[in-house]
Amino acid sequence: MENWFYACKIEDVPANGGVCVKYKEEQIALFNFSRRGEWYATQNECPHRQQMALSRGMIGSQNDEPKVACPFHKKTFSLATGECLSGDECAIKTYAVKIEGDKIYINLHPSAPKGELETHELIA
């Protein structure tokens, strides 16, 4: 499982909500978009005011595009591409997510050299 790290178990992420997973020094927002049957991971930092808040944002759809809204500034970002859907120039990083059994893995560095699975710290 090159370049993937274990994030958490499925039961750790609320339906139609998100959690923050810490990977080394980076915070990643992980979303269980159960209404769509999809999982997404993005940076947790909102680029508008550099606040670690996206994992607490509301998720929904805009023209069938899955999105998250920052809970503080209401800026919306595509969960699929990271593009700002509020008309701003800023964007967020997105990461691939994979489910194996009841475990969730995130591919943080898809172009990084091969590595071993690493563990995480779940921030409640």
* No. of helices (H) and no. of strands (E), the chain: 0, 12
How, if at all, do strands 121-123 and 45-46 pair? unpaired
Q: What is the pLDDT of residue 114?
A: 33
pLDDT in tens, 63-105: 999 999 999 988 999 999 999 999 888 899 999 999 999 999 9
* Per-residue pLDDT band at 123 (split at 50, 70, 90): low
State the average pLDDT over residues 13-42. Answer: 96
Total domains present in the chain: 1
- Beta strand 51-52 with 121-123 is unpaired
Beta bridge partners of 61: 66
pLDDT at 124: 47
Per-residue pLDDT tens for 98-115?
Answer: 999 999 999 986 433 233
For residues 110 and 6, is the Cβ–Cβ distance under 8 A?
A: no
* Residue 20's pLDDT band (cuts 50, 70, 90): very high
Mean per-residue pLDDT of the chain: 87
Residue 118, pLDDT score: 45
Interatomic CA distance for residues 28 and 6, integer angstroms: 12
User: CATH number for the domain including 81?
Assistant: 2.102.10.10
Domain encompassing residue 106 = 4-123
Residue 3: per-residue pLDDT: 83
* Listed range (7-16, 43-52, 88-97, 110-119) with the worst mean pLDDT: 110-119
84: tokens are: 């700002």
CB 21 within 8 A of CB 32: no
